[in-house]
Chain A
């Protein structure tokens, strides 16, 4: 069992990991075709990811309903919506014109609901900004001033208050912000390389599951 559960996956990870690194540096037709094939395999795996996601959602909400956990009524709505929309999609061949049921549901149910949820952020951001943005220390004061400048720079009224506000905002984005972001990105990139190498050589095995 260990051979199938551990040795084979580790060997596959090593083989394909090394292969994909090598192909990146050799622009030969054979490697181009290999990458093409790998990309198609990746898409198939991605499609199965959707199936796994739907199965996981169904499983999770089914047990919430079965155990009558608080809010189980919402789980019924979730599962009913999932089933109804999938059935409508199959029956109408996912016709998303506004007059077809599939398109109508998207346009008049999903779109306003998602947009409304996101719009609520405006209210909570305002409330959170009032509570959190306090100039208690020098660092907090700098953060506060920069936040106000950027907020004004991101709207046209900023240039009515002071004409150079958009330019100052752009400078903050292009220099201090960029320097900090680049440092973070370099750190993340190096960590990604290190983790990838650990997976390829078999040191990092958490993807095998079971805490092995």
Chain B
């Protein structure tokens, strides 16, 4: 049975638009890999530095930006210090936006409670550089201020990734989670947690099982779970219902296609 694909597009559009307009709220179950990230952050003492690497661009904003924002909110709520960076050039604006929003909410000061390092090309090499000598790799922050003079660096005595207990990588590809596991976590010994797009999540379960990742957030659902954990429902939680209904529409069309296949087969059998 052939259906004009424009009908499928219309159904998908309806499944996305209506729940968005009527803001259908759904209960969100928490999965263990997401809970583990939350627990690891909860276990850190106030003042500890957490590195958040944002390795994505605006194409993955819908799934990954809510993760960045939720993680930053959690860190600031716990009075942790955040060192944010990008390994992708086009993600810098999103990180700055998330730092501005979450920083203002929790009255955090740039240079004291958080530092934005910006983008540096090189991927894995940048990670090795940070592991060997942070100030050598990033002598200045994204605004051009010397890193060595910042209270966050002075007060914590941060020299390299060896002094950091937790790195959280939110990534949409390479350089990303693999780079942080191979060049970072395995060499410098910090705990690594990760967030990624839904389609990538399956790739990282071996790291989760081996303990190379302490936790994993997969796709918009992962972000919504984290928002639920920090009791701060936002974009990801709101977008769960359009995603739910669009998945249902896809499943309905798949079932419809298979019913048509069975009917066709039985007709052929009868004819023969």
Chain A: residues with CB nearer than 8 A to chain B?
32, 35-36, 38-40, 42-43, 45-47, 49-50, 96, 103, 106-107, 110-115, 117-119, 122-123, 125-127, 129-131, 133-136, 144, 147-148, 151-152, 154-160, 166, 170, 173-174, 177-178, 181-182, 185
Contact = CB atoms under 8 A, between A and B. Distances in A.
Nearest to A42: B125
A38 B258 CA distance: 57
A65 B113 CA distance: 50
Contact of A154 (B3, B59, B60, B198): B198
In the complex, which of the residues A136, A156, A159, A182 has the most CB atoms of chain B within 10 Å of its own CB atom? A156
A114 B125 CA distance: 27
A110 B90 contact: yes
Interface of B: 3, 5, 8-9, 11-13, 16, 26-29, 31-32, 57-62, 90, 92-94, 96, 120-123, 125-126, 128-129, 132-133, 136-137, 198, 201-203, 205-206, 208-209, 218-219, 221, 224, 240-241, 243-251, 253-254, 256-258, 261
A110 B89 CA distance: 12
Contact of B243 (A115, A126, A155, A166): A155
Contact of B26 (A111, A126, A130, A156): A156
Given A39-B128, A117-B59, A156 B31 contact: no
Contact of B132 (A35, A114, A130, A147): A35
B93 A173 contact: no
Nearest to A169: B31
B206 A50 contact: no
B240 A35 contact: no
Contact of B5 (A118, A127, A174): A127
A16 to B, nearest CB: 14
Contacts of B209: 174, 178, 182
A127 B29 contact: no
A29 B93 CA distance: 38
Given A129-B250, A177-B202, A43 B61 contact: no
Given A39-B126, A43-B129, A166-B29, 9 more contacts: A35-B128, A43-B126, A122-B12, A125-B250, A126-B253, A129-B254, A154-B221, A156-B241, A159-B29
Contact of B247 (A49, A119, A151): A151
A46 B123 CA distance: 8
Contact of B129 (A39, A113, A130, A166): A39
B188 to A, nearest CB: 11
Contacts of B203: 181
B27 A130 contact: no
Q: Report, nearest first, the 7 A-B pairs whose CB atoms are least far apart.
A: A42-B125, A46-B122, A157-B244, A39-B129, A46-B121, A156-B26, A114-B58
B206 A181 contact: yes
A155 B244 contact: yes
Contacts of A154: 198, 218-219, 221, 247
A43 B12 contact: no
